[in-house]
Every structure is written in C-alpha cells, then in structure tokens.
Structure 1
Amino acid sequence: MGAAKHNELLDYLAESVQVVLTGQTDIPQKCVRRAAELVKSRMAFVWANSVIYIPKQLHSQNLSRNQKIFTDFDGYNHPTLSEKYGLSIQRIYAIVKQMKEEHIKQHQGTLFDLCNFREGAENSSNERPYYILEDIIAHTSSCLQAHLALDRKQADGLGDAIAQHFSQHRHGLFGYIRSGTTQQPPDINQGCLFDISTENIEHD
C-alpha cells in the first residue's frame, strides 16, 4: 500500500472496530457504531500530529518482545539475545530481519510523507513504529471497558482482534494524523452497558 488521504487511517480503524464487534459479539449495531466512533476519536488524540505507519501483522503477545530484541541487537549479540529471551539463535536472526524490514518500510513512508503532506506534516515523525498495534489494543480495550461494561479479559481479546484485522487489511499504509480533526462523540447511553458473549473470539 502507500499514503492514506487525510485521516483516512482513522476511518479504516473504525471500520475494523465495526467488523470485529459485529462478527464476534452480540452488541446492538447502534452501540457498535458508537464504539467505533469512540475508538476513532481516542486514537485521533493519541496519534495527533504524527505520521502513522501500519506494520505487518504480528501476534500481539510478541510485539513488545520483538521490539526489545531489535532494540537490544548490536549486530553481533545473537547468542546473548537467544539466551536472554529463550529463543533459538535462528529465531533471533529471523526476528531481527523482520523488524529491520518493517523499520525500513516505516522510514520510507515517513520520508514520503514529509515531502508530500500538507500543513505541518514536514515536521512530524512516527517515534513508535512498532507500537501502533499495541496502541490500538490498549486504547480500544479501555474504550470497550468504559463504555460497554466489558471486563478486561473480554475487552483485551476484542482489542487484539481489532488490531489484527486492521493490520491484516491495511498493513503498509501510512498517513499523517492532524490534530483536532475529530470530536469526542457523546458517551454511549446506559442501554449499551450490558454483558455480551465473546465465545466466538478467536485466539491465535
């Protein structure tokens, strides 16, 4: 993929929220749509004035670990990292290679954005290229817990599914998120605060 139009990434994220909540829960559509808008508004605030690159799908449980391995890597310490993280040396090589490729893609995307996006994009950068999916998981979970009365386990599972759906369908896309372009929608009313069934959530 390539550059997204102004705040198009947020629309795609809201779409992923609706797809996952519709397919994996019994939440009424009115509440699904409101939840999608809440997540969109939250991420617009979190990512404001940043160039956001959507990385290739990685299992959420491995995101932080792989980032730490890549940060700790000095070019020669594969055996040390293998022992530290309990992985084979071959697996360390593979993780470093994958993270390096994602870093290069993200950097290229940022350079393109710096040259072509309007009004302030020339000074922006994505300082957390590998934490984008973790952002989605954490903030989506928080929104679902607060506005749909889900427990943390349910909300985390749905947040993970939404991040994975977003990455699967939009990886390689990048865009500049301008500050102040979305407004916080009214809170979901009490009719949306109920227990839901998440038995169909798939865990990798």
Structure 2
Amino acid sequence: MKAEGRSPAGDLLDDLAEQVSVAAVEAFGVSKDAANALGTDVAMRMVEQWGGQQLYMPKGARIEASRMHQQIYEDWKGQNHRELARKYGFSLQFIYRVIKVLRKADLDSRQRDMFSPVGHD
C-alpha cells in the first residue's frame, strides 16, 4: 500500500527489501536481522544498477511458464505424455516439445565436454 507523500518507487524499494527479507527467513532460516540486512543490501544494489531509470515491472509470465515447464518435465515418467497434456491443459505436441527441450538441457548439463582439460589427481 502506498504511504501518503511517498513515491511508488520508494514503496517498491521498501517492498523489495521486505520480500527478500521474508524469503531469506522462509527459505534459509536466517535470523530476522540478517534477513533485513540482506533485503536492504539487495534493494541498494538495485538502486545502484537501475537508479534514475524508468522501469516496467512485468507480471512474471516467463518465470511462471518456466516453472510450469519444469513441473511438466519432473512429472514426466517416459510414456505419460497424454496424461500430462490433460493434467496441464496443453496439446500433446506442446508436451513433447517441452520434454524434448528440457531433456536435452538436462542431458547436456550432465555430459562432459571431451575438449575440456581434465585435472589429474
């Protein structure tokens, strides 16, 4: 909620600091003092990086889509494409495409590069 006489930008920075603080306590169990310090630090870094610029805050559709795609991949058991299409309300082709892309990324992340130097112990 906007405080009287405050700018939306100031409210945004205060809320950013608060949200980081809450997330740090919930996700990592850090003390409230440490979480507040982290929240303030993140807000100040955003000021240093973006201060003075006009910003548009997207609604996060890309992040939500990425989470949905990851959930589809995690629910994939090898042969349950139709079930996933029904569950998530997407076409069968879309489910195949999501799994293909994420499976390739998963395999690539596990694959060693044969041209990278290997340390000798």
Q: TM-score range by the shorter chain?
A: 0.3 to 0.5
Higher relative contact order (CA closer than 8 Å, sequence separation 6+): 1
TM-score under structure 2 length normalisation: 0.44
Higher-Rg member (1/2):
2
